[in-house]
Structure 1
Amino acid sequence: MHSGTTGRWTPVALSADLPAKTVMPARIGAETIAIWRSASGQAAASADRCPHRGMRLSHGFVRGEALSCIYHGWRYAKAGNCLSIPAHPGLTPPEAIRVATFPVIEQDGLVWVGKDTSEGKPTKLDGLSPLRSLTAAATIGAIETAAGSSADADGLLKPADALGGLCLLLSDLSDGQTLMHVLLAAESTPGERIAASRFAEALRRRAETAAMEGAQS
């Protein structure tokens, strides 16, 4: 996940930020996708575009085990096939009507999305727990400079002056932006969590300032 790639699996969101029966936009590099959780708690990911009129599915709604487009209510299963078309209630939608889907793994409190069906698992975050996610208007390189340290091959970065066991899990959004997942030791105290959140915000500001100054020079 370091530098120009997020690798086979991309950490797109915290599991806690995706309650049952909700949908939200996420990014895999430059591509916007829709991630959603069914009523039974299963996470899914699809292309963020309804095949009917191109409306963003991340603007839609979840009912039961299906994702519905907000425009005309076309309903899609986790597998991507169209389940129903409200304007034609007696019609069984053809198999050709479907939305592209992506593999999803929930692990260590994060929702990971893959780009293909090859084998492999997301990197393990042994002993670390996600605190929050931030989007920085800065590249991974600018964040590394601000942090005074480098991310490893899995995108994990330990800032030089970090408090306690704070780490960042970085995901390149391919447009000069980076998604930062703030990680802490699972047994951290409320005070440590507040301090870590403030530290991450300050680091983001330093990286964004450096990126802006670099663009203007």
Structure 2
Amino acid sequence: MHTDTTGSWTPAALSADLPAGTVIPAQIPAGFIALWRSHSGRMSASADRCPHRGMRLSHGFVRGEALSCIYHGWSYAPTGNCLRIPAHPGLVPPETIRVVTHVVEEAGGVIWVADGQPEAGPPRLEGLVPLRSLTALAGIAAIEAAAGAKTNPQGMVEIAIGNGAICLLLSPQGEDRTLIHVLLKGMSEPAARMAALRSTETLRRAAEDRQKKEFAQ
């Protein structure tokens, strides 16, 4: 989870949402990023802005082991340096042309991105199975109030259901927006998963209602 300490980790996405050869947008405290996985499976996190004309790299495409901008096709390596400028095929791009990159790791089906240089790896969420991610137009306090539980030291709100639990791994996207990664504990049956999805959707609506009422006051 993210704190004000340099090198802290943010749960940016679920591994299942980033298959090989794809790029998706994400957000960490440092700003918007393009999460991408090369065709060989290598995962990278690049600042979501092409140095050429400022186009979002998350709108681009992955070609082999590089991320290419959709605008003019400038391509970047996982390390951030520019590899190719299609308008000048004979040019070796200078090292000064590069995008900012972030340390990224996968653990327990969650993609974690570091803000700075971490001193240790991301949290290990043992015994949890990722289900899905969703965005709530509500802050952490509204989600905690709707769930009737506080965020634990791992950055999760845990809700008991049946013989298991729904664990909501929260990633703030601002004061009134939160990315929620839904993880399950002891709930493997399809019916239990469907119940978890319904419960999470109900909680999201309740949190958003609380957020609206707080804003209206």
TM-score calculated relative to the size of structure 1 = 0.94
1:35 alignment counterpart: 35
Q: Which amino acid aligns with 1:76?
A: Y
2:17 and 2:108 map into 1 onto residues whose CA distance is 14
List runs of 5+ in structure 1 lacking aligned partners: none
2:48 and 2:60 map into 1 onto residues whose CA distance is 10
Query: 4+ residue stretches of structure 1 with deviation over 4 A?
Result: 2-7
Kept after mapping to 2: 8 A contact 1:2/1:152: no
1:174 and 1:154 map into 2 onto residues whose CA distance is 19
Kept after mapping to 2: 8 A contact 1:4/1:174: no
Q: CA deviation at 1:156?
A: 1.2
2:83 alignment counterpart: 83
Kept after mapping to 2: 8 A contact 1:165/1:185: yes
1:65 and 1:208 map into 2 onto residues whose CA distance is 40
1:127 and 1:32 map into 2 onto residues whose CA distance is 30
Kept after mapping to 2: 8 A contact 1:3/1:140: no
Residues 139 and 28 of structure 1, relative CA distance in 2, 3 Å threshold = same
1:145 alignment counterpart: 145
Kept after mapping to 2: 8 A contact 1:4/1:172: no
The alignment of Structure 1 onto Structure 2 pairs a total of residues equal to 216
1:200 alignment counterpart: 200
Kept after mapping to 1: 8 A contact 2:75/2:83: yes
Q: Give % identity.
A: 60
Q: The residue matched to 2:204 in structure 1 has which SS?
A: helix
Residues 114 and 140 of structure 1, relative CA distance in 2, 3 Å threshold = same
Residues 205 and 5 of structure 1, relative CA distance in 2, 3 Å threshold = farther
1:7 and 1:140 map into 2 onto residues whose CA distance is 22
Q: CA deviation at 1:29?
A: 3.3
More displaced, 90-99 or 185-194? Answer: 185-194
1:139 and 1:211 map into 2 onto residues whose CA distance is 7
Q: CA deviation at 1:186?
A: 6.2
1:115 and 1:210 map into 2 onto residues whose CA distance is 30
List runs of 5+ in structure 2 lacking aligned partners: none
Q: Which amino acid aligns with 1:64?
A: G
1:15 alignment counterpart: 15
Residues 69 and 54 of structure 1, relative CA distance in 2, 3 Å threshold = same
Q: The residue matched to 2:143 in structure 1 has which SS?
A: helix
Kept after mapping to 1: 8 A contact 2:21/2:63: yes
More displaced, 37-46 or 25-34? Answer: 25-34
2:182 and 2:7 map into 1 onto residues whose CA distance is 19
2:69 alignment counterpart: 69
Q: CA deviation at 1:175?
A: 3.8
